[in-house]
Amino acid sequence: MNEPNLVGIDQAATLAQINPRTFRRRIAAGEIPTIRSFRDRRVKLIRLDDLKRFMGEKEVQKAS
Taking alpha carbons only, the member of 49, 13, 17 closest to residue 33 is 49
State how many domains the chain has: 1
CA 33, distance to chain mean position in Å, is 7
- pTM, two decimals, is 0.75
pLDDT for res 59: 57
Range of the domain at 48: 6-55
Spatial separation of the C-alpha atoms in residues 35 and 18, rounded to whole Å: 20
pLDDT for res 34: 95
Residue 64 falls within a domain, yes or no?
no
**What mean pLDDT is predicted for residues 29-46?**
93
Task: State the chain's mean pLDDT as an integer.
Answer: 86
Q: Which amino acid is at 57?
A: E
pLDDT for res 27: 95
Spatial separation of the C-alpha atoms in residues 35 and 42, rounded to whole Å: 10
Residue 1 falls within a domain, yes or no?
no
With left for phi above 0 and alpha for psi between -120 and 50, is residue 53 left, alpha or beta? alpha
